[in-house]
Amino acid sequence: MFFLHSTNKDIEEEEGEMKAASALVLVFLLVSVAAMTIEKRLKEFFPPKCKNANSTNWYQVGCYCVKHFQGPVDFATAESNCARQAPGGHLVSLHSEQDNNAVLSIIKKYSASSPRTWLGGLQIPSTKTYIWTDASPWNYQAWVPGEPRPTNSEHCVEMNWSVLGKWNDLECWRKLGYMCAFELQTANEGGGQE
Ligand SMILES: [Ca+2]
């Protein structure tokens, strides 16, 4: 039988090939696991549909229903369009990293090729402080490193300029996509006295 004539060299080569094949399988498994982990993380961030909304593609982020609009329009037009979408509608305000990630995942789903999006952040030029157009507290921020720059004419806040998920201040007349939001009605709203 031919294998009786196998030399040690043949066996070593065979072992080497088997090791290489095992390594390849291991790399393939690691890559697969990494891909599944990334996909799972994106799914974790993607918010549920908003049950309160009477039209499609509104998602629940924190205590808001939010929806992405392609535009592109300037900041003021975006804000007034949002007011027409629903009672109490405004450009979206963000209050946690989780909400920020959820909004980013919606933008990736609906506008991956042009992700720059107006948020509802607005600078008061006289005080250099920021407010949200829905008057909720300014209690979270996620600026691109180096932004906002101290002296310029940029007073409106966008997401996804240069770094995905991060914010930049920009001239308000620029035309971008935008994210509208309205507050979810809570069960006890209006039912009690302060
Ligand atoms: Ca800027």
Asked whether residue 89 is assigned to any structural domain, the reply reads: yes
One domain for residues 35 and 76: no
Domain-embedded: residue 36: yes
Q: Judge whether 115 and 164 are in contact, CB under 8 Å.
A: yes
Distance from Cα 67 to the centre of ligand 1, integer Å = 24
9: CA distance to ligand 1 center in Å?
66
Is 151 inside any structural domain? Answer: yes
pTM, 2 dp: 0.75
pLDDT at site 191: 37
Q: Verify that 22 and 117 share a domain, yes or no.
A: no
Q: What CATH number is attached to the domain comprising 107?
A: 3.10.100.10
Same domain, 41 and 97: no
- For 112-125, the DSSP string reads TTS--EEEEEEEET
Q: 176 near 118, Cβ under 8 Å?
A: yes
**70 Cα: distance to centroid of ligand 1 (angstroms):** 21
Q: Is 162 left (phi over 0), alpha (psi -120 to 50) or beta?
A: left
Same domain flag for 71 and 161: yes
What pLDDT digit, counting tens, does each position of 130-187 carry?
999 999 999 999 999 999 988 779 999 999 999 999 999 999 999 999 999 999 875 4
| Tokens found for residue 93 | 């305000």
> Is residue 100 located within the same domain as residue 145?
yes
Tell me: the pLDDT tens digits for 73-124? 999 999 999 999 999 999 999 999 999 999 999 999 999 999 999 999 999 9
What is the number of domains present in the chain?
2
